[in-house]
A and B are shown apart, each in its own frame.
Chain A
């Protein structure tokens, strides 16, 4: 791989965590020392986890270089000029193998279809033609420069320049710019563009063409974070998305799904994520009341406002301890008979008439939506709380002898907490579509264990920080953070394995 490329293992992985192997049969990943050493390391460590996928982060420079390498390769194999090899590769959406195969079968047809003219005498150039009238600008000047693409439609240079500038600058097009004639499907080739537009526009055109390399390539995707310019390479095909959730992390720290581009949605598969989001949009009015920040205490009915992520609430007035999500007593939440995450299907089975059925189905949806939305909200509150805490810690650093390093444990804890809440959030979308079988109990147990751990960590982080007790708190937080991380791993691993083994049954068709 090129120098500019950053592989994930040197960009974000913690050295003490398990490492992953890099796909080695990849076309443009050249062997270099790092890769070789790396393989040795992998051999001693555990194999890759089921919920993780291999990926490489590429910079723009890396993308351009990979592209050039592919073009040079094809140009050498087929014995054609580089610009033609580039057009052919674009036409074949960078599927090099298919291009070479088809070219060997019938080179003339391949060249024609891609709009490539290898005959030098026929390379595009602007010429003057006596008596010519341009159909677009109606100009009939004697010394009008004109050009026709392989389709024969001829227009003046001025019109080409206006048209191409409009397409490139205003519409951001590059590879698919068509001939100006109505209903003509011939593509304006790179050489013609270069002849017709000014330097700036041509540069913009080249940049856009570079972007299409990523857009057209099934195994590449731009990092969707705003103004991030890295692209991720991942060799999970679209056809595998019903059994894998390919989650990648850019060097900008944005975690997202390579399959659909959505922010990290493990353990839900892409199609369920899409269905769930659609459902939530359609039912947003019914579910609106949930997002409310305030609720009433179940005992004394005084209004309670939530200001942290933790769902263990204590009423200030009557000291009643309850769960924010289900409003049930908290005493049931810290024990093995914790049931907050499970939906009691009994109510829907009992429902006989239509009205009761639809009420039961709404209740079932609200059970999952409530928990989904709550983790999202809690993650935000956890972050806010951390920001406040951070300020306080800075103050403490000045008054006590704490070092900067010593207070970092909180940041890491909040990062893990927020990540686990995202995972939990999506477990509820997943569970909503899950059809009950003997496997669902395992899933719900894992979900419960993670949720309990998360709430405990969240509660720890809400504790007031006192300088003299910081060592004690730090140890508690560190232990809990490790535990929470391991619960998440257990859940993700089992869900991912279940997907690969088709252990899960869904209430909806996931192939459509």
Chain B
């Protein structure tokens, strides 16, 4: 395992614990392979009062390669989130940059939830869930609409 990988993740973990963003909490980070975080719906949005769990899986090439990020358990109903937990968000795939982090990804997802005006699943949900691979990174995503 590269020094870069462990050093960077240790730093991120300390930072998340000492200075956690509002509504985001690390609940499981025993290894550098995968972490779990909870994400609370922001007050005054459609998701207020709800709590979701995000799972991050890191490859040894992290942060040069994006982490694999999915919702587990209670999946938010949202036009860009599939019922198998896969998230259609460009920074997780082709727009990933190594300066992004677990923190910035969580904040992006939180803001994606907060700006939602209509709680409904993606129109192609059934088809996607039937055909998708286990990892969302194997999906060829097309990002039509970043405003929802």
Q: Which residues of A contact B (CB under 8 A)?
A: 135-139, 158-159, 162-163, 166, 170, 180-184
| Cα(A184)–Cα(B97), bound, Å | 9
A138/B11 contact (C-beta < 8 A), A162-B64, A166-B61, A166-B64 known? yes
Most B CB within 10 A of own CB, among A158, A166, A182, A184: A182
Q: Does the CB pair A183–B4 fall under 8 Å?
A: no
Q: Does the CB pair A136–B63 fall under 8 Å?
A: yes
B127 within 8 A of A: no
Q: What is the CB-to-nearest-CB distance from B5 to chain A, in angstroms, rounded to a whole number?
A: 9
B147 within 8 A of A: no
A166/B65 contact (C-beta < 8 A), A180-B97, A180-B99, A181-B99 known? yes
Q: What is the CB-to-nearest-CB distance from B81 to chain A, in angstroms, rounded to a whole number?
A: 22
Q: Does the CB pair A158–B4 fall under 8 Å?
A: yes
Residues of chain B with a CB closer than 8 A to A158's CB: 4
Q: Does the CB pair B97–A182 fall under 8 Å?
A: yes
Q: What is the CB-to-nearest-CB distance from B103 to chain A, in angstroms, rounded to a whole number?
A: 13
Residues of chain B with a CB closer than 8 A to A163's CB: 64, 98
Neighbour of A170 across the interface among B2, B61, B95, CB < 8 A? B61
B7 within 8 A of A: yes
Question: Which residue on chain B has the smallest CB distance to residue A136?
Answer: B98
B100 within 8 A of A: yes
Q: What is the CB-to-nearest-CB distance from B3 to chain A, in angstroms, rounded to a whole number?
A: 8
Residues of chain A with a CB closer than 8 A to B63's CB: 136
Most A CB within 10 A of own CB, among B7, B61, B65, B99: B99
B8 within 8 A of A: yes
| Cα(A327)–Cα(B61), bound, Å | 61
Q: Can you give 19 contacting A-B residue pairs, CB < 8 Å?
A: A135-B99, A136-B4, A136-B98, A137-B4, A137-B7, A138-B8, A138-B11, A162-B2, A162-B4, A162-B64, A163-B64, A163-B98, A166-B61, A166-B64, A166-B65, A181-B97, A182-B91, A182-B99, A183-B95
| Cα(A55)–Cα(B120), bound, Å | 54
Question: Which residue on chain B has the smallest CB distance to residue A182?
Answer: B97
Q: What is the CB-to-nearest-CB distance from B2 to chain A, in angstroms, rounded to a whole number?
A: 7
| Cα(A135)–Cα(B2), bound, Å | 17
| Cα(A427)–Cα(B97), bound, Å | 50
A137/B64 contact (C-beta < 8 A), A163-B98, A181-B99 known? no
| Cα(A136)–Cα(B4), bound, Å | 9
| Cα(A136)–Cα(B98), bound, Å | 6
| Cα(A181)–Cα(B11), bound, Å | 19
Question: Which residue on chain A has the smallest CB distance to residue B64?
Answer: A166
Q: What is the CB-to-nearest-CB distance from B22 to chain A, in angstroms, rounded to a whole number?
A: 22
Most B CB within 10 A of own CB, among A139, A162, A180, A184: A162
| Cα(A163)–Cα(B4), bound, Å | 11
Q: Does the CB pair B7–A159 fall under 8 Å?
A: no
Residues of chain A with a CB closer than 8 A to B7's CB: 137-139
Q: What is the CB-to-nearest-CB distance from A249 to chain B, in angstroms, rounded to a whole number?
A: 32
| Cα(A74)–Cα(B11), bound, Å | 49
Residues of chain A with a CB closer than 8 A to B61's CB: 162, 166, 170
Q: Does the CB pair B8–A183 fall under 8 Å?
A: no
| Cα(A137)–Cα(B91), bound, Å | 19
Q: Does the CB pair A136–B2 fall under 8 Å?
A: no
Residues of chain B with a CB closer than 8 A to A182's CB: 91, 95, 97, 99-100
Chain B window 53-76, contacts with chain A (Cβ cutoff 8 Å), 1 for yes, 0 for no: 000000001011100000000000
Residues of chain B with a CB closer than 8 A to A183's CB: 95, 97
Question: Which residue on chain A has the smallest CB distance to residue B63?
Answer: A136
| Cα(A183)–Cα(B97), bound, Å | 8
Q: What is the CB-to-nearest-CB distance from A188 to chain B, in angstroms, rounded to a whole number?
A: 13
Question: Which residue on chain B has the smallest CB distance to residue A153?
Answer: B99
| Cα(A117)–Cα(B4), bound, Å | 31
Q: Does the CB pair B99–A136 fall under 8 Å?
A: yes
Chain B window 4-20, contacts with chain A (Cβ cutoff 8 Å), 1 for yes, 0 for no: 10011001000000000
Residues of chain A with a CB closer than 8 A to B65's CB: 166, 170
Question: Which residue on chain A has the smallest CB distance to residue B12?
Answer: A138
Additional A-B contact list (8), CB under 8 Å, known A138-B7, A162-B64: A136-B4, A136-B8, A137-B7, A166-B65, A170-B61, A170-B65, A180-B99, A182-B95
Residues of chain A with a CB closer than 8 A to B4's CB: 136-137, 158-159, 162
Residues of chain B with a CB closer than 8 A to A138's CB: 7-8, 11
Residues of chain B with a CB closer than 8 A to A181's CB: 97, 99
Chain B window 65-108, contacts with chain A (Cβ cutoff 8 Å), 1 for yes, 0 for no: 10000000000000000000000000100010111100000000
- Which B5-60 residues have C-beta < 8 A from chain A? 7-8, 11
Question: Which residue on chain B has the smallest CB distance to residue A137?
Answer: B4
Question: Which residue on chain B has the smallest CB distance to residue A165?
Answer: B64
Residues of chain A with a CB closer than 8 A to B8's CB: 136-138
Q: What is the CB-to-nearest-CB distance from A95 to chain B, in angstroms, rounded to a whole number?
A: 26
Q: What is the CB-to-nearest-CB distance from B99 to chain A, in angstroms, rounded to a whole number?
A: 5
